[in-house]
Structure 1
Amino acid sequence: MTDVNAPLFADARPELTGGRRIGVLLSHGFTGSPASMRPWGEHLAAQGYGVAVPLLPGHGTTWQDLNQHTWADWSSALDEAFVKLRAEHDAVVVGGLSMGGGLALRVAADHPDEVAGLMLVNPAVATERLDVKLLPLLKHLVPSFPAIANDIKKQGVDEHGYSRTPLKAIHSLIRGWKPLRADLPRVTAPVIYFRSTVDKVVDHASQPLIVDGVSSTDVTVVPLEDSFHVATLDNDAPIIFERSSEFVARVTHADATA
């Protein structure tokens, strides 16, 4: 039986991708695990892409463990995974869900000439919630809030996320957003942006900041009308899988990278 928290790695099959070795790096979200990305990653692997879905530090264990980690830990882990994947492939596309989308943007901003494309699913770089202003104080008074996992419209689906939201960790996440937003103009790679019309975790603050903030002239927004936040496991997952397969093929084509 597969461990739902286990990372996913699949070797590239260049015989299916025009003779080129194409890599795809996917990042799960805050308090989640590779379980939320596994079906997407397996779909892309079946197309011949070399896929990596790492387990971010503090995830897949306990929420108390996550409270000991920071944005720098998660960002560094994904950056290291990208550098390794890029060394082994002709081109690499990076994607992520929620916090993972923010981390993917961080990689694209730090490696603007090496990321072939970005695939974002309900990414977070900001919030309209006013209670976040209290986090510097609250994190010292209470260790956690109720869970944010499993915002899924489809019945019988489990994201396998934590049962609580650790406050020290989420405060670090939110502090990581400001420098990321400042660096969005460094993102030049093509972007496909999947956005659920109903999302009870990530509000509408992030989309205009990202769409208008990146320097890319190739940005496509795909609305997901039958899914909540964890859209990679929800009713619209087939749309994400199909459109992302087309996107990876397009942005990694030899002519597109010339």
Structure 2
Amino acid sequence: MAEHYPVLKEAEPFYFEGNRTGILVIHGFTGSTQSMLGLGEAYAKKGYTVCGPRLKGHGTHYHDMELTTYTDWIASVEEGYQRLKEKCQTIFVTGLSMGGTLTLYMAENHPDIQAIIPINAAIDLPDMAALNNISEPRFLDAIGSDIKKANVKELAYEKTPLRSVKEIVKLMEKVKSGLYKIQCPALIFVSTEDHVVPPGNSQTIFDFICSKEKQLIRLENSYHVATLDNDKDLIIEKTLQFINSK
């Protein structure tokens, strides 16, 4: 499926060449790489090789997104992972929201991943699951920009395709059922107040993964898009400490 709209400014994929430790950085559902670029730049400054893929159908127009499936989004992430594999000996994966879901997917399917850092990851959204059996309306309200910090906006779609909601529900079901496969170290970030993904999702992830080393860090001063919010620097600091310890 070819995309019909140009990539928006600030929604382009990014890649920073660095050392032989790679970090795959994944944005969320209806969002764009803009939400993860600040983290990517911070990790690149420390010498890491960083890849931030643009998920297919994202960062252009919601009409493009409507035509994609969750397997397209997985393929976008796999492509970024393979790019890092060509250069790096060790790979870490981090992601926000559905990017966190895809982070978990990668850990379930690539046991060689060194460690993961999901941020407000989604595995169970009852409100979205409830839409599975309806066919109207074609487009729902936007879910982007759930940010506590004043005057900060996420580059995300102004509408959410119903078909895409059904796709993320399939992805979440797939990932949730495979959490037991994850054994790599995990640093899990969760906002205590999140109007998109209930914070209980992160506790479930913590409880069901089989990692011997796992930690749950609560973000007290950010909403869903924590990577653009008040706790952004805390996420960067704790993630770098975590990566440096591996």
Q: The TM-score by the shorter chain falls in which range? A: over 0.9
Question: Of 3, 6, 24, which aligns to 2:9?
Answer: 3
Cα deviation, residue 100, structure 1: 0.3
Tell me the alpha carbon deviations over residues 195-247 of structure 1, each in whole angstroms, 9 at most, x when there is no partner.
10110000134123211111101111111101000000000001001001111
Task: Kindly indicate whether residue 141 of structure 2 is the aligned counterpart of residue 146 of structure 1.
Answer: yes
Could you tell me whether the CA contact under 8 Å between 1:128 and 1:203 is conserved in 2? no
2:130 corresponding residue in structure 1: 133
2:178 corresponding residue in structure 1: 183
Cα deviation, residue 83, structure 1: 2.1
Correspondence 1:1-258 to 2 at 5 A: 3-12=9-18, 14=19, 21-112=20-111, 114-129=112-127, 132-137=129-134, 140-251=135-246
Tell me the alpha carbon deviations over residues 121-148 of structure 1, each in whole angstroms, 9 at most, x when there is no partner.
100011243x6323332xx221111100
Query: Percent identity at matched positions?
Result: 34
State the Cα RMSD in Å: 1.3
* Higher mean C-alpha displacement, 35-44 vs 201-210: 201-210
Q: What amino acid sits opposite 2:32 in the alignment?
A: S
Tell me the alpha carbon deviations over residues 39-90 of structure 1, each in whole angstroms, 9 at most, x when there is no partner.
0000000000000001000001111110111111101211221122123101
3-state SS, counterpart of residue 48 of structure 1: coil
CA distance in 1, matches of 2:106, 2:22: 14
3-state SS, counterpart of residue 57 of structure 1: coil
Q: What amino acid sits opposite 1:37 in the alignment?
A: M
Q: What amino acid sits opposite 1:153 in the alignment?
A: K
3-state SS, counterpart of residue 132 of structure 2: helix
TM-score, length of structure 2 as denominator length: 0.94
| Structure 2 residues without counterparts, runs of 5 or longer | 1-7
3-state SS, counterpart of residue 115 of structure 1: coil
Could you tell me whether the CA contact under 8 Å between 1:128 and 1:205 is conserved in 2? no
* Higher mean C-alpha displacement, 235-244 vs 177-186: 177-186
Could you tell me whether the CA contact under 8 Å between 1:147 and 1:162 is conserved in 2? yes
1:18 corresponding residue in structure 2: none
Q: What amino acid sits opposite 1:6 in the alignment?
A: E
1:255 corresponding residue in structure 2: none
CA distance in 1, matches of 2:164, 2:97: 15
3-state SS, counterpart of residue 212 of structure 1: helix
TM-score, length of structure 1 as denominator length: 0.89
CA distance in 1, matches of 2:209, 2:83: 25
3-state SS, counterpart of residue 134 of structure 1: coil
3-state SS, counterpart of residue 162 of structure 1: coil
CA distance in 1, matches of 2:129, 2:208: 23
Could you tell me whether the CA contact under 8 Å between 2:39 and 2:236 is conserved in 1? yes
| Structure 1 residues without counterparts, runs of 5 or longer | 15-20, 252-258
